[in-house]
C-alpha cells in the first residue's frame, strides 16, 4: 500500500496527504514553495496547511518576517489513529444498540465489491469468534487479495484460536498448505480434479455464509446472515467433507 493511501485512510483528502508528505520531504518551507511543489494555488496551500496545523501534523515558525512550515514527527499519525480508535470504541455501544433495533431477526445480505471491500468479510470472520468451514479456490484467492493479506488472515485467525476446515482443489500450492495444518489450526482436505474450475471462496461461520466471486475483472463478495441459509450450506459442506 502506498504511504499516501495510508494517510488518506486516517480521514485526509488526497491533496492533504500529498501536502504532509511534501512538507516531510522539504523539512521546512514557505507556503509558496509548497504550493509550487504540489502545483496548487498559494491560497489552497495555505488552507491545507492551516487544517493540518489544527490536527497537529504541521507547525510553523517565523524567521525574518517569513513563515516556515514544518511537518510534525510521523509518530503523530499513530497518535491520531489511537484517538480515532478510542472515539470509535466509545461509540460502539450506541452503534450496536442501533443495529439491534433495526436488524434483529431479519436476514441480511451485504455486497462487497473489489478486493479492498472483500477484506472486510475476513475481518468479520475474526470478529465472529466462530470456527470456520470453507470451500476455497486457494490460488485464485491469493491472486485477488494478495499473499500477504491471506497469510496475515491466517496468523490473525490462529491468534484468536479459530479453527478452519478447508476444502480446496489439489495442487502443489495446497499440498504445501496442508503440511502446515497443525500449527495453523487447519484441517485441509482436497477436492477432486474436476474442482479445478472452481473460482469462488465460500466461508460458513456463526449464522453467516460468505460467498466470494474471485473474478479478476471485478471480484465481488456476498455476506448472507440467515440461519436457514447457513444451516443448508453447512449440511452441503458436511456431505462434501465426508466424501
Specify the CATH number for the domain of residue 139.
3.30.870.10
Do 155 and 229 share a domain, yes or no?
Answer: yes
Do 231 and 114 share a domain, yes or no?
Answer: yes
Least confident of 10-19, 74-83, 181-190: 74-83
Do 66 and 136 share a domain, yes or no?
Answer: no
139 or 73: which leads in pLDDT: 139
What pLDDT, on the 0 to 100 scale, is given for residue 1? Answer: 46
> Which structural domain range is residue 234 located in?
107-242
Q: What percent of the chain has pLDDT over 90?
A: 59
Task: Decide if 89 is inside a domain.
Answer: no
Do 54 and 126 share a domain, yes or no?
Answer: no
Summarize pLDDT for 167-177 with one digit per residue, the tens.
999 989 999 99
Task: Decide if 15 is inside a domain.
Answer: yes
Do 43 and 131 share a domain, yes or no?
Answer: no
| Alpha-carbon gap, residue 128 to 122, rounded angstroms | 10
Domain count for the chain, please give it: 2
| Alpha-carbon gap, residue 228 to 222, rounded angstroms | 16
**Residue 153, pLDDT above cutoff 80:** yes
Do 45 and 128 share a domain, yes or no?
Answer: no
Residue after which a domain boundary falls, among 73, 89, 116:
73
Task: Decide if 24 is inside a domain.
Answer: yes
Q: What is the mean pLDDT of the chain?
A: 88
**Residue 104, pLDDT above cutoff 90:** no
What pLDDT, on the 0 to 100 scale, is given for residue 2? Answer: 75
Instruction: Please say whether the beta carbons of 24 and 33 come within 8 A.
Output: no
Q: How confident is the model at residue 99 (pLDDT cuts 50, 70, 90)?
A: low
| Alpha-carbon gap, residue 126 to 164, rounded angstroms | 12
47 or 90: which leads in pLDDT: 47
84 or 51: which leads in pLDDT: 51
What pLDDT, on the 0 to 100 scale, is given for residue 12? Answer: 86
Do 156 and 228 share a domain, yes or no?
Answer: yes
What pLDDT, on the 0 to 100 scale, is given for residue 64? Answer: 81
Task: Decide if 79 is inside a domain.
Answer: no
Do 66 and 120 share a domain, yes or no?
Answer: no
Task: Decide if 84 is inside a domain.
Answer: no
Instruction: Please say whether the beta carbons of 34 and 25 come within 8 A.
Output: no
443448508: which residue's cell? 232
What DSSP letter does each residue of the chain carry, written as one string? Answer: --HHHHHHTTT--HHHHHHHHHHHHHSSB-HHHHHHHHT--HHHHHHHHHHHHHTTSEEEEEETTEEEEEEPPTHHHHHHHHHHHHHHHHHHHHHHHHHHHHHTT--EEEEEEHHHHHHHHHHHHHHHT--EEEEE-HHHHHHHH-HHHHHHHHHHHHHTT--EEEEEE-SHHHHHHHHTTTTTTEEEEEE-GGGGG--EEEEEETTEEEEEE--SSS-EEEEEE-HHHHHHHHHHHHHHHH-
What pLDDT, on the 0 to 100 scale, is given for residue 44? Answer: 92
Q: How confident is the model at residue 242 (pLDDT cuts 50, 70, 90)?
A: very high
Q: Residue length, the chain? A: 243
CA-CA-CA-CA torsion for 176, 179, 181, 184, nearest 10 degrees? -70
Task: Decide if 116 is inside a domain.
Answer: yes
Average pLDDT over residues 66-81: 82
What pLDDT, on the 0 to 100 scale, is given for residue 213? Answer: 95
What pLDDT, on the 0 to 100 scale, is given for residue 228? Answer: 93
What pLDDT, on the 0 to 100 scale, is given for residue 216? Answer: 87
| Alpha-carbon gap, residue 127 to 129, rounded angstroms | 5
CATH of the domain at 54: 1.10.10.10
What pLDDT, on the 0 to 100 scale, is given for residue 28? Answer: 87
485477488: which residue's cell? 144
User: What's the Cα-to-Cα distance from 113 to each of 187, 197, 203, 205, 215, rounded to whole Å?
Assistant: 29, 22, 17, 21, 11
Task: Decide if 87 is inside a domain.
Answer: no
* Residue from 180, 211, 210, 183 nearest 198 by CA: 211
Summarize pLDDT for 9-68 with one digit per residue, the tens.
777 888 998 999 999 888 888 999 999 999 999 999 999 999 988 888 888 888 888 889
Residue after which a domain boundary falls, among 28, 51, 73:
73
Amino acid at each position: 500500500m502506498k504511504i499516501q493511501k495510508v494517510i488518506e485512510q486516517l480521514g485526509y483528502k488526497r491533496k492533504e496527504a500529498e501536502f504532509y508528505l511534501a512538507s516531510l520531504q522539504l523539512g521546512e518551507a514557505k507556503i509558496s514553495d509548497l504550493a509550487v511543489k504540489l502545483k496548487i494555488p498559494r491560497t489552497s496551500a495555505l488552507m491545507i496547511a492551516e487544517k493540518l496545523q489544527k490536527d497537529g501534523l504541521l507547525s510553523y515558525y517565523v524567521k525574518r518576517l517569513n513563515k516556515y512550515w514544518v511537518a510534525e514527527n510521523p509518530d503523530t499519525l499513530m497518535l491520531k489513529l489511537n484517538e480515532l480508535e478510542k472515539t470509535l470504541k466509545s461509540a460502539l455501544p450506541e452503534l450496536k444498540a442501533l443495529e439491534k433495533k433495526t436488524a434483529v431477526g431479519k436476514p441480511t445480505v451485504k455486497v462487497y465489491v473489489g478486493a479492498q471491500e472483500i477484506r472486510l468479510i475476513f475481518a468479520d470472520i475474526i470478529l465472529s469468534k466462530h470456527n470456520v468451514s470453507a470451500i476455497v479456490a486457494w490460488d485464485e484467492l491469493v491472486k485477488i487479495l494478495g499473499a500477504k493479506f491471506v497469510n496475515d488472515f491466517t496468523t490473525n485467525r490462529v491468534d484468536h484460536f479459530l479453527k478452519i476446515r478447508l476444502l480446496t482443489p489439489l495442487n502443489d500450492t495446497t499440498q504445501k498448505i496442508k503440511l502446515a495444518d497443525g500449527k495453523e489450526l487447519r484441517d485441509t482436505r482436497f477436492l477432486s480434479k474436476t474442482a479445478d474450475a472452481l473460482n469462488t471462496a465460500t466461508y460458513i461461520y456463526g449464522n453467516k455464509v460468505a460467498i466470494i466471486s474471485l473474478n479478476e475483472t471485478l471480484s465481488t463478495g456476498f455476506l448472507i446472515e440467515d440461519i436457514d441459509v447457513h444451516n443448508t450450506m453447512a449440511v452441503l459442506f458436511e456431505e462434501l467433507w465426508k466424501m
